[in-house]
Every structure is written in C-alpha cells, then in structure tokens.
Structure 1
Amino acid sequence: MFHRRFAATRRRTPVNSHFTQLDWAVLAAYFAATMSIGFYFWRKSRSTEGFTAAGRALPGWVCGLSIFATYLSSISYLALPGKSFADNWNPFVFSLSIPIATWIAVRWFLPYYRASGEVSAYALLERRFGVWARLYASVFYLLTQIARMGVVMYLMALPMAVIFGWDIRLVILFTGVSVTIYSFVGGIIAVIWADAIQALVLMAGAVICLAVLLLGVEGGPFQVFSTAAAAGKFSLGQFGAGVDQGRLWLDAGSATFLVVLLYGLFINLQNFGIDQSYIQRYIASSSDREARKSLWLGGILYVPVSAVFFLIGTALFVYYNSEQHERDLPEVRQLVARQRLMQQGVYPEYEDAEATVPTPDYRQSLDGEAAGLTDTEIGDRVFPHFIAKHLPPGLTGLLIAAVFAAAMSTVSTSLNSSATLLMTDYYRRFLNPRATEKQCMLALYASTIAWGILGTGMALVLVKLTDSALDIWWTLSGIFGGGMCGLFLLGIVSRRANSPAAAAGVVTGVLVILWMSFPKLVDYLLSQPPGSRAGQVGAWFQRLGTGWLSPFHAFMVPVVGTMAILLVGLLVARLSGARGGRPAGDSSDA
C-alpha cells in the first residue's frame, strides 16, 4: 500500500524532475565504489583481530577520517545548515568544545585503551567495578545503536522521499542492506576505508555547495555576509555568566554560549572518551602516535567543516529571502507540511491516476499544516530543497551521495562496534569462554546481520512512529545511559572508588538525570488527549505545580548528571575508606 502511494505520486512531486540521468550515474558510482571496498578487504577481515581491529595496523590519517565521517551523520549534514538558517551560530559553540574534549581524551582515555590490549571499551569498567558495570554500559550502548541506526537512516530517507518522490521504505531498505553487506564482508578495515572515502565526498559536496550558494546570490559573497550580519546571523549567543555586585552568576536555564560550551564538552568527552565506535579506531591504529593523530585529525577536522555547514545555512537564509527566490520558501513549507502529514499517516489523495492536483480535502489539510510552520520547523528541509532544485545536473547527484555517505558511515560504524561488543562482552565472556577462532567469527557475522536487521527495522518502524514518541525514547535512553561517562571518569581519576561507590554514584546520577528530564516528559504527557491515560497523568503533574521541576536547560543534563556520578562516587569511596583497584596508567590519588 505504501509503495503504491509513492509510485502513484512520484511524478507529482514538485522537484522530482531535477534528478537527471547524470545524477543517477554519480549516485550509482558512489554505491559501486562503497560496495567494492567491502569485497576488496574481505581477505584481511577473516580473523577476529582483522574484523574488529584491522590487525592494529592502520595509519592515523585513515582512522582520523573515519572518526570524522562517523561523527558527521546525515542528521548533522542536514540539521547544521537548518539551525543557522532558522536562527544563528549559537550551536557552533558546540564545535568549539571539541579541541578541549580531544585533548582530555588523548591525555587520559586513549593511553589506557592502547595499553589494555582490549577491543571492548567497557572492559575497563569490569576491571574497576565488576561485571555489572560492564554490562550496564554495553547494554545501553547496544540498544542506543539500534535506535541511532534507525534514526539516521529514517531522517536521511525522509526528505528524499518528500522532495524526489522516492519510496521511503525502499530508500531505507537499500541503504540498510548495502551497509550491512560491506560491513559483513569487510569488517572494520572496510568500514574505516569506506568512511575515509565518504569523508572526502562529504567535504567536497559541502564546499561545492557553499561556492554555488555564495556565487548564486546577487551581489556575491559580500552581499551574503553583509545581509546575514545585519540580521544577527553570526551571533554565538549571550555569554551567560558574569559578576554582579561582587557575586558570580550563571544562566543555566537557557542555551547561552557557556551552557552550549559545557554541553559540547561533556557530550564530546563521552564520544571520544567512552564510545565504542571511536575506541575501535584508536585500537586499529598502528601505534600510540598514530592513534593520537587519528583522534586529533578526526576531532579537529569537524570544527572547520561544521563552520562550512553553518555558513551554508546562513547563505541559504539570504538566498531564499532574496526577491529572485521569493517563491521557494512557500514551496519548502508545502514539502515540510507534506512530510508531517505522512508521519501522521495522511498521504496525498487524487481523484484518479491521471490527476496532478490533490483532492480539496488533502489540499486543505496541507495548507493548514503549512500555515502553522515556523522557520525552525522548516530549517532542516531548506538545504535538501536547494540540492534538489538549484544545483546543476551531476552536482545534485554528488550532494545526494554525500547525504547517503553521512548516513552510511555512521550506520556501518554502529554495526561493526555492536558486533564487536556482542562477541567480546557476551558470547566469549559468558556464552562460550573457550570459543575457537571460527566460532568467534561466526558470532561476529551473525551479530552484524542481526544488528543490521534491527537497525533497518527500527528505521522502518519510525516511518509510522510520531516525533513525540521518538523524543520520549531518546529522553529515556539518555536517563539510563547517561551515567556511563561519569562511571568511566570515576574509574580513571580515582583509585579509591570501588564497586559500591560506583553503584551509589550511578543510582544518584540516574535520579538526577531523571529529575532534570521531567519537564520534557511532562510536556509530552500534556500533549496527549485529555481523556487518555497519558493525558490524565500529565494533568496530575500539572496540578503539582512547576516549583519542583528542574530549572536547568536540557543541555545541562549530561553536565550535571556526569558530575553527580563522579562526585558522589568519590564521596562514598572516601567516607567508606574503600580501596579500589588501581586502573592502568592512572597515577591519581583522589
């Protein structure tokens, strides 16, 4: 039914005709090159060491490009321009925190992983606090990767389905199957080399698109910068802290410069310090020096590239608000409205197979949905609309290939890291401790296929899932998985902290994160029908008032939660006189 709806409406999509045969050729060449990489490296991935760590022999620059490509998902590729189009450069402050987080990870986290000899990032937690800590971290990592793969593929396919009229399920299935095949055949060495090529495609696409934009505005780059500056588009936001009458104050209730910087620091520390996806790149590097090079390259490269994407969004603001393109924004609103109706299960309806204009009832629903959209809500779709309508043939195919590359690099990394954890932390650790090399390889192959199916299945489920339900899933996963960074920090900075101290820290941290996440949960409950069970629970919370709700901005959740775990763990360890095991490479005496 879904396929027939899209097949019947494909020719009626406003910008469908702009994807030419040349664009298809470029896109096909990209997929052919990506798939060939997996088969090329098949012989080098037929051992567990080759499949999970690439023989620990890769150069740092390749691993660094892989880290960069993994970091820049299709969500970022489309969302960063959308943010600067709708508002300003305040989110770019997140990127400015990356050098600090990279230095911390290089200084304290990377040496341990290189010295441990372990492929699993969570072996540290078992050595320090027991098997419960390892399972706690790995379970939530594995579940999060399923959701992450699904969200990345879904959000990559959705604008393509709306703009080009492609069947969203076929786009998801084709992407999921392609990534699973080359990840299955080539292991991490194929994933890393494919990521490196995809990184080049990503950057080339972004730079070319920016050049076309800057030269396409009447008046050129000067007009773009002057118009954007006059509109305050380059603002990084209010600093959010200062001294008033001798007292230090901090605005932690809004997305100020300082709040975004702190948020970015803790999120990037979580990425570069404890995320299995990145840890395997450090392990795959040929030496400690190459591992450090990979992290610095992957982290620092994101800063200027993200600036390019923010500049694309700023240029799009000027481009789409110019007189020569004044008809484009209403078209974008119609596309976003169509997408939202699709998510609600409402599809274009026509009187017959030959009709090109939807029925009056559907047009009324479409116009009503479009009228209520804000710039923030249409921001993420302006860039794909520009790619589809305003780029010359060939470049459209290159940019769509770049969007696919952004998604596939993230999904392939999640697949390989998840398969690695399932083999090391579960199969070889519990199910079959004496497993042979052949049995471990079978476990890796089976895990890759299983997580590929689950991730693709999640993306297909999201086609019917509402945005609010998706938000709740991410909120809950953040609550229970948010303790991992604090737990790792506790294990690294303190040799006193033992298992009870770590458990006390995690419980406290999860409760703090839960409390800080309540405003979002309450908003979701209140958005439900008043007569429903969820709506009644929301009304009950509303009667309690707002005095007990967290005053902090959502960006402060990982900051406060991580610090709560670390400080409570240190306090309990000190009060109890505990003497935990000394972590490798640690010389602290907390």
Structure 2
Amino acid sequence: MHWINWVIVVVYLLVVVVDGLRRTRGTTSIEGYFLASRRLPWWAVGLSVMATQLSAITLIGTTGQGATDGLRFVQFYFGLPVAMVLLGVTLVPFLHGAKVYTAYEYLERRFDARTRSLTSFLFLLSRGMSAGTIIAAPSVVLSAIFGWDLTWCVLLIGVPTIVYTVLGGVEAVAWADVKQMVVIVGALLALVAVLVWRLPVPLDDAFRLAGATGRLRVFDFSFSLTETYTFWSGILGGTFLMLSYFGTDQSQVQRYLAARSVDEARSSLLMSAYWKIPLQALILVIGVLVFLFYTFAPSPMLFNPRHDGILRERQPAVYAELESRHAAALAGREQAAREAAAAPGGGSLATFKAQNDALETVRKDALAAAAVASGESARDVNYIIPRFVLDNLPLGFAGVFLAAVLAAAMSSIAAELNSLATATVVDFYQRWYRKEDTDLHFLTVGRIATALWGVFAMVVATYAATLGSLIEVVNRFGSFFYGSILGVFLLAMVKRATALGAFAGLIAGMSAVAAVSFGLPTVGCLWHNVSGAVVVFSVGLLLSVGGKREALA
C-alpha cells in the first residue's frame, strides 16, 4: 500500500485516540467512567449507538454479503423501527428511571439476585464472543493486505484497543463514535461514487444485470423456518432480536443510560429507527456494485490471497486446471454482460445469468479445493471488499477506507469491552464479592476486567474469521442468547411473574434455543430469538401463576 494511504490511516487514528484520552482526564468516579455522569446529549448517544453497529463487521462482512447474495440481508432489519417504538414506551423509562448501572440490576429489584446474575452471565458470554468477531473483521483486512498470519493481525488490532479502552471510559467512546460516523458515511459515499464512475455501462443497464442474478431482490415473502432472510423472519424474528439487543444488551443500554433524560434516551433510539435501514441498504448496494465491477473487470479466483497461495503451492495441477476454467468463465460472463447491456432483452439476460452461474460453480470448486489444501474453512466473503479497495481504488481512497475500518473497529471494540467490564464489576464483583469500597478501587477492578475480556475476545477472533460472513457470525452468536434474555425482561413487566418463574423460564428458554440450534441446524438463526423469548415468557408465567395458586391452596 502506498505511503500516502498509511499517512491517512496513522493521522486519523492518532486524532481519535488523542481526543478520546483527552476527554477522560479527571474521570475518577465509576459513574463518570461507566456512564459519562449521565450527561450525554441525545444526538451523541444516537450516533454512538449507530456507530457501534457500523463496525468493521458491517464495512467488510455486509458489503461482502451484498456482493455474493445481494440485497436480501436488509430484511434482517425490518423489525428495527417496531422495536425502537416499543422500547421507547416500555424498557427505556423503566431502566433510565431506575438509575441503574446495568440493565440486569433492575432484574434483581424485580425478581432476585440469581436471575440477575444468570442473565448478566449470558450477556457476558454472548457479548464477549461478539467482541471477538468485531476484532476479527479488521484483522481480515490486514491479513489480505500483507499476507500476515491472522493471529498476528488480531494482536495488532486487539492490544492497542485494549490499552485505549482500559484508559478511557464510555464518554470518550461515545464522542469517538460521533467522529466514526462522519468518516464511515463519507467513505461509503466515496466508494459508491468511484464504483459508479468505473462501470463501463450505464447504471440502469448494470442494475438489470444484477437483477438477473437475483441480487436486487429485497423481499422474500415465503414463510420458511430454514431460510434465514425473509420478510417474516425480519419482521418477527428481527423485532425480537432488536428488542433484546437494544433493550437488554448492556452495550446498548449503557448508551441511553448515559443520556440526560428519558426523552433524550428515546430520541437517541429513534435515530436508529429512521436511519439504520437506509444506511444498511446503501452498504449492501456497494456490495452489488462491487459484483458489477468485477463483471467487467478481472476478479480473483480466490479473494483470500493466503488460501490462493496455499492451493497454488500444494496442488499446482489442480490450481492450473481451476485457473484455466476461471479465466474462460470470466471471459464468457464479461462478453455476455456486454451483449446484454447493449441489446436489452430476456434472452440476453438469461445468457448472462447462465454464464454467471458457470463462474460461481468454478468459484465453489476453487473454495472446496482451497479448504482441502489448507485444512481450513475457505469461505472468503470477508475478503472481497478488502481486495477490491486495495487493488482498484485511486490513491488516498484506500487509506480513507482502511482508516474507517480500523477506527470503527476500535470504537466498537472499546464500547463492547467497556460494557463487559461494567457488567462484570457491578453485577458480580460489587454484588457478590465487595459491596463497599472506594470509586478508585472499583475503577481499578474495571480496568483489569476490561483487559481480561480483551484477551478473551482476541482468542475468539482467531476462530471467528474462518466461520463465513462476519455479519452472519455475530448475529448467530447474538441470536443464541438474545431471545431468552428478552423473555426475562418481558416477564419483569408482568405483575404476576415471580422470581422462581423468571429463573426457571430463563433456563427453559436457553435449553429450547440449544435444542433448536443443534437439533434443527437448518432453522434460521433469527427464529432462535422468537423461540427463546416465547419459551421463557410462557414457562415463567405458567410457573408463576401455578406457584401462587399452590401457595394459596
């Protein structure tokens, strides 16, 4: 990469880190460290919430998802506006008015300490794994750029972020997030402009080609439990996921707990309700545009350069045969694409689709061969955007994009680690081990907890990058836990619910999700949220009512 790109990356990261540390000077209380003394304005909280979601996973995994699968993934967010409105009138007033540090403190006030601890533990486990996935995303970029081993890339991203997070607090993270949003959105718009400029055919003709492959299909109204992204899974499963994520996940709750009032907390959530779907659609469109760019330009057979090198070295005959097939398929697809663009018609589009299918068959064979040669999963969706940015963007653009990826990753990781440390200190250390001590003592413990969770996340990161699309990986991690956690908070709003019902319901919900996840692996992960929440609420309410009747008898 050109030295000018490196200057852009270094300068931007220095600005973010220095400004973040400047804002933490004088922070000596745990309320200031964990909740910014509850004084953040609504727009900063809203941008922070969105920036946390627009992490490097989004910039890498979602764009790669758009390139390979099209716009269907946007259905995942159809439940977001519904969830935000519901949270604004339910959990937000409850939690903000309770003046708690974590969402799980409220569960002890409503039920008992064991329900609080188990729910908080599930959050720690799910968010710790998700933090590892967030570290994996920029590590994939560095691995693709330099051919470095993924573990070293994880350390390069993770260690500085841990140091920054240990020294900083949620206020520094939130204001850094505001900067991230400006840079990220600017980088995305610049990427769109470059892609449209580089297409050799008019944009409407290019989109017709993408439509022929199904990449512009947004809505899937089929009701299928095995299909991950449909309209119904987005509306139903997505609503449950978003309710749990924004209403019960400490990494998000901690944001609006830091807002100045309940009304400002509501306003911060509505910002995501209005802007998240259009922004997510823009990111997926970038992926589709990258697919169209490679339709008219040579594309790598394997986007992961490391696996490409391993296959070339260990199975040269197989590699040569696949490379020959790939070159022929590329040429056939490009010719069909130009003919279809020049002479619109159903037949020409059908020919293009057939040529595209032939190329994708070669790619699948190459990925399978790379998996055998390397002994690793060879799914390379996370490498598509990094390769495009580094190989094809004008001087300076690659630096801006890489700065956005790294800075967004560091900001998101910092937010995750800060929330993990908050839950660890408040829900476990302070609750069960040392109830009373100085703020300085709890700050020290919080910083130690941050470092330990950082190490845990880096271990997870070394495995997450090989599991496929990173945006799907993080959603699978979350969906395993989120529905059951949401079920407990729904029970908390029912007067009849008891502590026994909540605790037993939570165990039943997690057992049900595990049974569906491992027993019916073809069921889409979004439905795990529904099954977990329904089982927790049903079992908990049944035991609560039954227990009360037994006590009266």
Shorter-normalised TM-score: what interval? 0.7 to 0.9
In structure 2, distance between residues paired with 1:404 and 1:161: 13
1:68 maps to: 50
Rounded Cα–Cα distance in structure 2 between residues aligned with 1:92 and 1:433: 45
In the alignment, structure 1 residue 136 sits paired with structure 2 residue 137: no
- Partner of 2:395 in structure 1? 393
Shift of 1:552: 4.3
Mapped pair 1:39 → 2:48: no
- Partner residue in 2 for 1:190: 172
- Taking only aligned residues, the RMSD between alpha carbons, in angstroms, comes to 3.1
What is the letter of the counterpart of residue 303 of structure 2? L
Paired with 1:225 and 1:432, the residues of 2 have a C-alpha distance of: 61
Aligned to 1:558: 529
Residue 334 of structure 1 corresponds to 302
8 Å CA contact 1:483, 1:510 repeated in 2:
yes
Partner of 1:293: 267
In the alignment, the residues of structure 1 paired with residue 68 and residue 367 of structure 2 have an alpha-carbon distance, to the nearest angstrom, of 9
The answer to whether the Cα contact below 8 Å between 2:513 and 2:528 also exists between their aligned partners in 1 is yes
Q: How far apart are the structure 1 equivalents of 2:317 and 2:409?
A: 33
Looking at structure 2, the residues matched to 477 and 204 of structure 1 have their Cα atoms a distance apart, in angstroms, of 29
Change (3 A) 1:109 1:373: farther
CA 475–232 in structure 1, closer or farther in 2 if over 3 Å, else same: closer
Amino acid aligned to 1:484: I
CA distance in 2, matches of 1:400, 1:197: 15
Query: 1:35 Cα shift?
Result: 1.2
State the alpha-carbon separation in 2 of the partners of residues 436 and 507 from structure 1. Answer: 35
Q: How many equivalent residue pairs?
A: 501
Q: How does 1:301-380 map to 2 (within 5 A)?
A: 301-322=275-296, 325=297, 327-328=298-299, 331=300, 333-336=301-304, 338-340=305-307, 348=310, 359=313, 361=315, 364=318, 372-373=365-366, 377-380=379-382
Q: Give the CA deviation at 1:491.
A: 0.9
Cα distance, 1:414 vs structure 2 = 1.0
Check 1:458–1:508 CA distance in 2 against 1; reply closer, same or farther (3 A cut). Answer: closer
Amino acid at match of 1:281: R
The residue correspondences of 1:229-308 to structure 2 (distance < 5 A) are: 229-240=211-222, 250-255=223-228, 256-308=230-282
What is the rounded CA distance, in whole Å, between the counterparts of 2:84 and 2:95 in structure 1? 15
Structure 1 distance, partners of 2:481, 2:313, is 46
User: Cα distance, 1:108 vs. partner?
Assistant: 0.6
- Cα deviation, residue 104, structure 1: 1.1
Structure 1: stretches of 5+ with no match in the other structure: 1-18, 241-249, 342-346, 350-357, 522-550, 581-590
Is 1:451 the counterpart of 2:444? The answer is: no
Deviation at 1:131, TM superposition (A): 0.9
Q: Does 1:213 align with 2:214?
A: no
Residue 245 of structure 1 corresponds to which residue in structure 2?
none
3-state SS in 2 of match to 1:372: helix
Q: Give per-residue Cα distances to partners, 1:430-470, cap 9 Å, x unaligned.
A: 2111111221121122222222233234334668x8779xx
Alignment check: 8 A CA contact 1:202 1:405 kept: no
Q: Deviations over 1:186-237 (max 9, x none)?
A: 2111111111111221111111101111121013433333332344322124
Change in 2 beyond 3 A, CA 1:282/1:95: same
Query: Cα–Cα, structure 1 residues 228 and 170, in superposed 2: closer, same or farther, change >3 Å?
Result: same
Q: Distance in 1 between matches of 2:550 and 2:164?
A: 47
Structure 2 SS opposite 1:334? coil
Q: How far apart are the structure 2 equivalents of 1:139 and 1:101?
A: 24
CA distance in 1, matches of 2:183, 2:15: 12
The 3 A distance-change label for structure 1 pair 88 and 304 is: same
Change (3 A) 1:495 1:164: same
Three-state SS of the structure 2 residue aligned to 1:207 is helix
Change (3 A) 1:378 1:479: closer
Match of 2:357 in 1: none
Query: Structure 1 residue 387: deviation in Å?
Result: 0.7
Contact 2:479-2:525 within 8 A present in 1 as well? no
Match of 1:147 in 2: 129
Q: Identify the range of structure 1 (376-385 vs 153-162) with the bigger mean alpha-carbon deviation.
A: 376-385
Q: Percent of aligned pairs with the same residue?
A: 28
The answer to whether the 8 A contact 1:162-1:339 is kept is yes
Provide the secondary structure at the position in 2 that maps to 1:197.
helix
CA distance in 1, matches of 2:205, 2:407: 32
- Over residues 117-169 of structure 1, what are the superposed CA-to-partner deviations in whole Å (9 max), with x where a residue is unaligned? 10111012112221111111111222223322222212321243124334534
Question: CA deviation digits over 1:393-426, x for unaligned, max 9?
Answer: 1110111111112322221111111111122112
What is the distance in 1 between the residues matched to 2:273 and 2:404? 19
Asked if the contact 1:60/1:286 (under 8 Å) is kept, the reply is yes
Partner-residue secondary structure (3-state), 1:396: helix
Residue by residue over 1:327-365, the C-alpha shift from the partner in whole angstroms, topping out at 9 and shown as x without a partner, is 21xx1x3333x5458xxxxx759xxxxxxxx64646747
Report deviation, 1:47: 1.5
Please state whether the residue corresponding to 2:260 is helix, strand or coil. coil
Give me the whole-angstrom Cα distance separating, in 1, the residues matched to 2:495 and 2:277. Answer: 35
Which string of whole-angstrom CA distances, capped at 9 and with x for unpartnered residues, describes residues 504-525 of structure 1? 322332232122112466xxxx
Higher helix fraction: Structure 1 or Structure 2?
Answer: 2
CA distance in 1 between counterparts of 2:43 and 2:549 reads: 43
User: d(CA) in 2 for partners of 1:447 and 1:252?
Assistant: 39
**TM score, norm. by length of structure 1:** 0.78
1:415 aligns to what? 417
Distance 2:168 2:474 in 1: 32
Q: Highest relative contact order (Cα 8 Å, sep 6+), 1 or 2?
A: 2
Give the corresponding residue for 2:139: 157
Q: Mean Cα displacement is larger for which, 511-520 or 363-372?
A: 363-372
Give the superposition deviation at 1:489: 1.1
Contact 1:129 1:498 in 2 (8 A): yes
Map of 1:488 onto structure 2: 489
Which segments of 5 or more consecutive residues in structure 2 lack a partner in the other structure?
A: 323-361, 369-377
2-structure distance, mates of 1:95, 1:127? 32
- Do the aligned residues in 2 keep the contact of 1:475 with 1:517 (CA within 8 Å)? no
Look up the match of 1:204.
186
CA distance in 2, matches of 1:400, 1:362: 33
